[in-house]
A and B are shown apart, each in its own frame.
Chain A
Amino acid sequence: MFLARVLGSVTSTIKHSDYNSAKLMVVQPIMPDGKDDGASALAVDATGVGRGEIVLVIRQGVAAGLVLNVELPAVRSVIVGVVDDIDIKE
Protein backbone atom coordinates (compact mmCIF):
# COMPACT_ATOMS: atom_id res chain seq x y z
CA MET A 1 0.00 0.00 0.00
CA PHE A 2 1.18 3.55 -0.50
CA LEU A 3 0.30 6.96 0.95
CA ALA A 4 -1.10 9.62 -1.34
CA ARG A 5 -2.80 13.02 -1.34
CA VAL A 6 -6.11 13.28 -3.20
CA LEU A 7 -5.78 15.90 -5.97
CA GLY A 8 -9.18 15.53 -7.58
CA SER A 9 -11.18 13.23 -9.83
CA VAL A 10 -11.57 11.98 -13.41
CA THR A 11 -14.88 11.73 -15.26
CA SER A 12 -15.14 9.10 -17.98
CA THR A 13 -18.14 7.79 -19.88
CA ILE A 14 -16.51 5.23 -22.20
CA LYS A 15 -14.73 2.65 -20.02
CA HIS A 16 -14.23 -1.00 -19.16
CA SER A 17 -17.19 -2.48 -17.22
CA ASP A 18 -15.09 -2.90 -14.04
CA TYR A 19 -15.07 0.92 -13.85
CA ASN A 20 -18.82 1.38 -14.34
CA SER A 21 -19.80 2.32 -10.80
CA ALA A 22 -16.30 3.41 -9.78
CA LYS A 23 -15.37 6.89 -8.58
CA LEU A 24 -11.96 7.53 -10.17
CA MET A 25 -9.65 9.83 -8.22
CA VAL A 26 -6.36 11.52 -9.08
CA VAL A 27 -3.84 10.89 -6.29
CA GLN A 28 -0.32 12.16 -5.71
CA PRO A 29 1.81 9.43 -4.09
CA ILE A 30 3.72 10.89 -1.12
CA MET A 31 6.49 9.83 1.22
CA PRO A 32 5.58 9.52 4.93
CA ASP A 33 7.08 12.97 5.46
CA GLY A 34 4.57 14.39 2.97
CA LYS A 35 6.96 15.03 0.08
CA ASP A 36 5.70 14.08 -3.40
CA ASP A 37 6.85 10.67 -4.62
CA GLY A 38 6.79 10.50 -8.40
CA ALA A 39 4.05 11.27 -10.92
CA SER A 40 0.36 11.43 -10.02
CA ALA A 41 -1.72 8.26 -10.50
CA LEU A 42 -5.36 7.17 -10.51
CA ALA A 43 -7.17 5.09 -7.93
CA VAL A 44 -10.75 3.92 -7.51
CA ASP A 45 -12.31 5.43 -4.39
CA ALA A 46 -13.83 2.73 -2.19
CA THR A 47 -13.92 4.91 0.92
CA GLY A 48 -15.53 8.24 0.03
CA VAL A 49 -12.64 10.68 0.13
CA GLY A 50 -12.27 14.35 -0.73
CA ARG A 51 -9.67 16.59 -2.34
CA GLY A 52 -6.65 17.28 -0.09
CA GLU A 53 -7.08 14.27 2.17
CA ILE A 54 -4.16 11.90 2.80
CA VAL A 55 -5.22 8.37 1.89
CA LEU A 56 -4.06 4.77 1.90
CA VAL A 57 -4.01 3.14 -1.55
CA ILE A 58 -3.60 -0.54 -2.35
CA ARG A 59 -1.81 -1.38 -5.60
CA GLN A 60 -2.58 -5.00 -6.39
CA GLY A 61 -5.41 -6.61 -8.32
CA VAL A 62 -6.47 -9.40 -6.00
CA ALA A 63 -6.79 -6.97 -3.10
CA ALA A 64 -8.62 -4.52 -5.38
CA GLY A 65 -10.97 -7.34 -6.37
CA LEU A 66 -11.78 -8.08 -2.74
CA VAL A 67 -12.65 -4.44 -2.06
CA LEU A 68 -14.67 -3.99 -5.28
CA ASN A 69 -16.19 -7.46 -5.11
CA VAL A 70 -15.02 -8.22 -8.66
CA GLU A 71 -13.06 -11.34 -9.55
CA LEU A 72 -9.82 -10.60 -11.51
CA PRO A 73 -10.61 -6.88 -11.93
CA ALA A 74 -9.00 -4.64 -14.53
CA VAL A 75 -8.39 -2.31 -11.58
CA ARG A 76 -5.10 -2.17 -9.69
CA SER A 77 -5.23 0.80 -7.32
CA VAL A 78 -8.02 1.32 -4.80
CA ILE A 79 -8.29 3.87 -1.98
CA VAL A 80 -8.98 1.88 1.17
CA GLY A 81 -8.62 4.43 3.95
CA VAL A 82 -8.16 8.02 5.09
CA VAL A 83 -5.08 8.72 7.15
CA ASP A 84 -5.66 10.72 10.37
CA ASP A 85 -2.07 10.83 11.55
CA ILE A 86 1.40 9.60 10.56
CA ASP A 87 3.86 9.13 13.43
CA ILE A 88 7.44 8.51 12.22
CA LYS A 89 10.36 7.89 14.60
CA GLU A 90 13.30 9.62 12.80
Chain B
Amino acid sequence: MLHERSWHAHLALVLGVAVFAFPIYMALNGSTWDAGTIGGGRMPLYPGAEAAANYGQAWFSGEGARAKGAPVSVMMINSFLMAVIITLGKVAISIISAYAVVFFAFPLRMFFFWMIFITLMLPVEVRIIPTYAVAANLGLIDSFAGLTVPLIASATATLLFRQFFLTIPDELVEASKIDGAGPLRFFWDTVLPLSRTNIAALCVILFIYGWNQYLWPLLITTSPEMETIVIGITKLVSTADAHTDWNLIMATTVLAMLPPVAVVILMQRWFVRGLIESEK
Protein backbone atom coordinates (compact mmCIF):
# COMPACT_ATOMS: atom_id res chain seq x y z
CA MET B 1 0.00 0.00 0.00
CA LEU B 2 1.06 3.56 -0.65
CA HIS B 3 2.39 5.53 2.22
CA GLU B 4 -0.24 7.85 3.64
CA ARG B 5 0.12 10.60 6.20
CA SER B 6 -2.91 9.50 8.12
CA TRP B 7 -3.15 12.19 10.80
CA HIS B 8 -4.21 14.63 8.09
CA ALA B 9 -7.03 12.37 7.19
CA HIS B 10 -8.12 11.89 10.79
CA LEU B 11 -8.08 15.61 11.42
CA ALA B 12 -10.18 16.41 8.37
CA LEU B 13 -12.63 13.63 9.05
CA VAL B 14 -13.04 14.45 12.73
CA LEU B 15 -13.67 18.06 11.75
CA GLY B 16 -16.24 16.94 9.20
CA VAL B 17 -17.99 14.71 11.67
CA ALA B 18 -18.01 17.55 14.20
CA VAL B 19 -19.58 20.00 11.77
CA PHE B 20 -22.22 17.45 10.94
CA ALA B 21 -22.88 16.55 14.53
CA PHE B 22 -22.83 20.02 16.04
CA PRO B 23 -26.36 21.10 15.03
CA ILE B 24 -27.70 17.76 16.21
CA TYR B 25 -25.99 18.12 19.55
CA MET B 26 -27.48 21.57 19.94
CA ALA B 27 -30.93 20.25 19.12
CA LEU B 28 -30.56 17.40 21.61
CA ASN B 29 -29.32 19.86 24.19
CA GLY B 30 -32.17 22.24 23.47
CA SER B 31 -34.67 19.51 24.03
CA THR B 32 -33.46 19.12 27.63
CA TRP B 33 -33.89 22.71 28.84
CA ASP B 34 -36.98 24.77 29.61
CA ALA B 35 -38.30 27.38 27.22
CA GLY B 36 -37.34 30.29 29.44
CA THR B 37 -33.66 29.35 29.65
CA ILE B 38 -33.37 28.91 25.93
CA GLY B 39 -35.44 31.95 25.01
CA GLY B 40 -33.39 34.10 27.34
CA GLY B 41 -30.24 33.04 25.51
CA ARG B 42 -28.87 31.34 28.60
CA MET B 43 -28.78 27.73 27.44
CA PRO B 44 -25.54 26.03 28.56
CA LEU B 45 -23.59 23.58 26.39
CA TYR B 46 -24.46 20.63 28.62
CA PRO B 47 -27.84 18.88 28.93
CA GLY B 48 -30.51 20.10 31.30
CA ALA B 49 -33.11 18.23 33.28
CA GLU B 50 -36.28 18.90 31.32
CA ALA B 51 -35.91 16.15 28.73
CA ALA B 52 -38.73 13.95 30.03
CA ALA B 53 -41.09 16.87 30.42
CA ASN B 54 -40.32 18.28 26.97
CA TYR B 55 -40.59 15.02 25.09
CA GLY B 56 -43.72 14.05 26.99
CA GLN B 57 -45.37 17.35 26.24
CA ALA B 58 -44.41 17.25 22.59
CA TRP B 59 -45.49 13.66 22.13
CA PHE B 60 -48.86 13.86 23.86
CA SER B 61 -50.15 17.39 23.44
CA GLY B 62 -47.82 19.38 21.22
CA GLU B 63 -49.07 22.57 22.87
CA GLY B 64 -46.79 24.92 24.76
CA ALA B 65 -47.16 28.48 25.93
CA ARG B 66 -47.61 29.67 22.34
CA ALA B 67 -47.36 26.57 20.25
CA LYS B 68 -50.70 25.26 19.03
CA GLY B 69 -49.65 22.26 17.05
CA ALA B 70 -50.90 18.72 16.78
CA PRO B 71 -49.32 16.19 19.16
CA VAL B 72 -46.10 14.72 17.80
CA SER B 73 -47.60 11.24 18.09
CA VAL B 74 -50.29 12.14 15.55
CA MET B 75 -47.83 13.84 13.20
CA MET B 76 -45.38 10.95 13.43
CA ILE B 77 -48.08 8.48 12.48
CA ASN B 78 -49.07 10.67 9.55
CA SER B 79 -45.49 10.99 8.37
CA PHE B 80 -44.94 7.30 8.82
CA LEU B 81 -48.05 6.35 6.86
CA MET B 82 -47.20 8.82 4.13
CA ALA B 83 -43.62 7.53 3.84
CA VAL B 84 -44.67 3.89 3.85
CA ILE B 85 -47.47 4.35 1.30
CA ILE B 86 -45.19 6.32 -1.02
CA THR B 87 -42.43 3.73 -0.65
CA LEU B 88 -44.54 0.66 -1.23
CA GLY B 89 -46.62 2.35 -3.89
CA LYS B 90 -43.63 3.49 -5.86
CA VAL B 91 -41.89 0.14 -5.65
CA ALA B 92 -45.04 -1.72 -6.63
CA ILE B 93 -46.09 0.32 -9.63
CA SER B 94 -42.60 0.85 -10.95
CA ILE B 95 -41.56 -2.77 -10.72
CA ILE B 96 -44.58 -3.95 -12.68
CA SER B 97 -44.29 -1.25 -15.30
CA ALA B 98 -40.58 -2.00 -15.74
CA TYR B 99 -41.48 -5.67 -16.06
CA ALA B 100 -43.97 -4.86 -18.80
CA VAL B 101 -41.50 -2.71 -20.70
CA VAL B 102 -38.64 -5.21 -20.52
CA PHE B 103 -40.27 -8.60 -20.86
CA PHE B 104 -43.09 -8.01 -23.31
CA ALA B 105 -43.29 -7.01 -26.93
CA PHE B 106 -46.40 -4.98 -27.62
CA PRO B 107 -47.42 -2.04 -29.74
CA LEU B 108 -46.60 1.32 -28.16
CA ARG B 109 -44.01 -0.24 -25.86
CA MET B 110 -41.47 2.49 -26.53
CA PHE B 111 -44.15 5.15 -26.39
CA PHE B 112 -45.01 4.15 -22.84
CA PHE B 113 -41.38 3.88 -21.91
CA TRP B 114 -40.71 7.44 -23.07
CA MET B 115 -43.85 8.66 -21.42
CA ILE B 116 -42.58 7.39 -18.07
CA PHE B 117 -39.10 8.59 -18.85
CA ILE B 118 -40.19 12.16 -19.57
CA THR B 119 -41.67 12.51 -16.09
CA LEU B 120 -38.05 12.88 -14.96
CA MET B 121 -38.32 16.35 -16.44
CA LEU B 122 -41.48 17.29 -14.59
CA PRO B 123 -40.68 17.40 -10.87
CA VAL B 124 -43.61 18.23 -8.64
CA GLU B 125 -42.11 21.59 -7.72
CA VAL B 126 -42.32 22.75 -11.31
CA ARG B 127 -45.96 21.95 -11.92
CA ILE B 128 -47.06 22.51 -8.37
CA ILE B 129 -50.05 24.81 -8.79
CA PRO B 130 -51.84 22.96 -11.61
CA THR B 131 -51.15 19.65 -9.88
CA TYR B 132 -52.71 21.05 -6.76
CA ALA B 133 -55.70 22.11 -8.84
CA VAL B 134 -56.10 18.58 -10.21
CA ALA B 135 -55.86 17.07 -6.75
CA ALA B 136 -58.37 19.59 -5.43
CA ASN B 137 -60.81 18.80 -8.24
CA LEU B 138 -60.51 15.12 -7.45
CA GLY B 139 -61.37 15.87 -3.80
CA LEU B 140 -58.00 14.69 -2.53
CA ILE B 141 -57.33 17.61 -0.16
CA ASP B 142 -56.65 16.44 3.39
CA SER B 143 -56.56 12.77 2.55
CA PHE B 144 -53.81 10.19 2.53
CA ALA B 145 -54.61 9.47 -1.09
CA GLY B 146 -53.97 13.10 -1.94
CA LEU B 147 -50.82 13.13 0.14
CA THR B 148 -49.31 10.10 -1.52
CA VAL B 149 -50.76 9.07 -4.89
CA PRO B 150 -49.49 12.06 -6.90
CA LEU B 151 -45.97 11.33 -5.60
CA ILE B 152 -46.09 7.63 -6.36
CA ALA B 153 -45.28 7.61 -10.07
CA SER B 154 -41.51 7.46 -10.36
CA ALA B 155 -39.39 7.35 -13.46
CA THR B 156 -36.26 6.81 -11.36
CA ALA B 157 -37.50 3.62 -9.77
CA THR B 158 -38.86 2.31 -13.06
CA LEU B 159 -35.54 2.99 -14.77
CA LEU B 160 -33.66 1.29 -11.95
CA PHE B 161 -35.75 -1.86 -12.23
CA ARG B 162 -35.54 -1.79 -16.00
CA GLN B 163 -31.76 -1.59 -15.78
CA PHE B 164 -31.71 -4.54 -13.43
CA PHE B 165 -34.15 -6.61 -15.49
CA LEU B 166 -31.98 -6.18 -18.54
CA THR B 167 -29.19 -7.97 -16.68
CA ILE B 168 -31.34 -11.05 -16.04
CA PRO B 169 -30.00 -13.61 -18.54
CA ASP B 170 -32.31 -14.53 -21.40
CA GLU B 171 -31.68 -18.18 -20.64
CA LEU B 172 -33.33 -17.82 -17.25
CA VAL B 173 -36.52 -16.72 -18.95
CA GLU B 174 -36.22 -19.58 -21.41
CA ALA B 175 -35.59 -22.12 -18.67
CA SER B 176 -38.72 -20.81 -16.96
CA LYS B 177 -40.76 -21.07 -20.12
CA ILE B 178 -39.65 -24.66 -20.61
CA ASP B 179 -40.36 -25.37 -16.95
CA GLY B 180 -43.90 -24.25 -17.71
CA ALA B 181 -44.03 -20.85 -16.01
CA GLY B 182 -46.04 -18.07 -17.66
CA PRO B 183 -45.25 -14.35 -17.35
CA LEU B 184 -46.95 -13.84 -13.98
CA ARG B 185 -45.45 -16.97 -12.52
CA PHE B 186 -42.01 -15.98 -13.78
CA PHE B 187 -42.45 -12.56 -12.21
CA TRP B 188 -43.53 -13.96 -8.88
CA ASP B 189 -41.20 -16.96 -8.66
CA THR B 190 -38.05 -15.57 -10.21
CA VAL B 191 -37.98 -11.84 -10.93
CA LEU B 192 -39.31 -10.75 -7.55
CA PRO B 193 -36.91 -12.86 -5.46
CA LEU B 194 -33.99 -11.80 -7.66
CA SER B 195 -34.97 -8.14 -7.17
CA ARG B 196 -34.93 -8.39 -3.38
CA THR B 197 -31.73 -6.43 -2.87
CA ASN B 198 -32.79 -3.75 -5.32
CA ILE B 199 -36.16 -3.47 -3.65
CA ALA B 200 -34.59 -3.20 -0.20
CA ALA B 201 -32.16 -0.53 -1.36
CA LEU B 202 -34.89 1.41 -3.07
CA CYS B 203 -37.17 1.17 -0.04
CA VAL B 204 -34.57 2.86 2.15
CA ILE B 205 -34.17 5.75 -0.26
CA LEU B 206 -37.88 6.12 -0.86
CA PHE B 207 -38.75 6.01 2.82
CA ILE B 208 -36.47 8.97 3.41
CA TYR B 209 -37.84 10.70 0.32
CA GLY B 210 -41.38 10.16 1.58
CA TRP B 211 -40.72 11.15 5.16
CA ASN B 212 -39.01 14.37 4.11
CA GLN B 213 -41.67 15.58 1.67
CA TYR B 214 -42.43 19.23 2.23
CA LEU B 215 -43.96 21.31 -0.53
CA TRP B 216 -46.69 18.87 -1.51
CA PRO B 217 -47.95 18.12 2.03
CA LEU B 218 -47.81 21.84 2.76
CA LEU B 219 -50.31 22.44 -0.03
CA ILE B 220 -52.48 19.39 0.20
CA THR B 221 -53.09 19.20 3.96
CA THR B 222 -54.89 21.86 5.90
CA SER B 223 -56.31 20.19 8.99
CA PRO B 224 -54.09 19.51 12.03
CA GLU B 225 -55.07 15.83 12.04
CA MET B 226 -53.38 15.41 8.66
CA GLU B 227 -50.24 17.37 9.52
CA THR B 228 -46.92 15.64 8.88
CA ILE B 229 -44.13 16.21 11.34
CA VAL B 230 -41.80 18.11 9.03
CA ILE B 231 -44.54 20.61 8.25
CA GLY B 232 -45.59 20.68 11.90
CA ILE B 233 -42.17 21.82 13.08
CA THR B 234 -41.86 24.66 10.65
CA LYS B 235 -45.30 25.90 11.63
CA LEU B 236 -44.04 26.06 15.22
CA VAL B 237 -41.04 28.17 14.26
CA SER B 238 -42.91 30.51 11.94
CA THR B 239 -42.45 33.36 14.38
CA ALA B 240 -39.06 32.57 15.78
CA ASP B 241 -38.24 34.77 18.75
CA ALA B 242 -37.43 34.63 22.43
CA HIS B 243 -40.95 33.55 23.38
CA THR B 244 -41.09 30.62 21.01
CA ASP B 245 -41.39 27.20 22.67
CA TRP B 246 -37.87 26.23 21.68
CA ASN B 247 -37.84 23.29 24.06
CA LEU B 248 -40.84 21.72 22.33
CA ILE B 249 -39.50 22.54 18.89
CA MET B 250 -36.20 20.86 19.62
CA ALA B 251 -37.83 17.78 21.11
CA THR B 252 -40.07 17.57 18.05
CA THR B 253 -37.09 18.09 15.75
CA VAL B 254 -35.16 15.27 17.36
CA LEU B 255 -38.16 12.98 17.08
CA ALA B 256 -38.70 13.98 13.45
CA MET B 257 -35.12 13.14 12.52
CA LEU B 258 -35.05 9.87 14.37
CA PRO B 259 -36.81 7.52 11.91
CA PRO B 260 -35.02 8.50 8.69
CA VAL B 261 -31.61 8.80 10.37
CA ALA B 262 -32.10 5.44 12.04
CA VAL B 263 -33.01 3.91 8.69
CA VAL B 264 -29.88 5.30 7.07
CA ILE B 265 -27.57 4.15 9.82
CA LEU B 266 -29.12 0.73 10.43
CA MET B 267 -29.56 -0.05 6.76
CA GLN B 268 -26.41 1.68 5.58
CA ARG B 269 -25.49 -0.99 3.09
CA TRP B 270 -28.88 -0.81 1.32
CA PHE B 271 -28.93 2.94 1.58
CA VAL B 272 -25.57 3.44 -0.13
CA ARG B 273 -26.43 0.92 -2.77
CA GLY B 274 -29.86 2.39 -3.39
CA LEU B 275 -28.55 5.91 -3.66
CA ILE B 276 -25.76 5.10 -6.08
CA GLU B 277 -27.78 2.66 -8.19
CA SER B 278 -30.83 4.84 -8.55
CA GLU B 279 -28.77 7.65 -10.04
CA LYS B 280 -27.05 5.55 -12.68
Co-assembled chains A and B: no
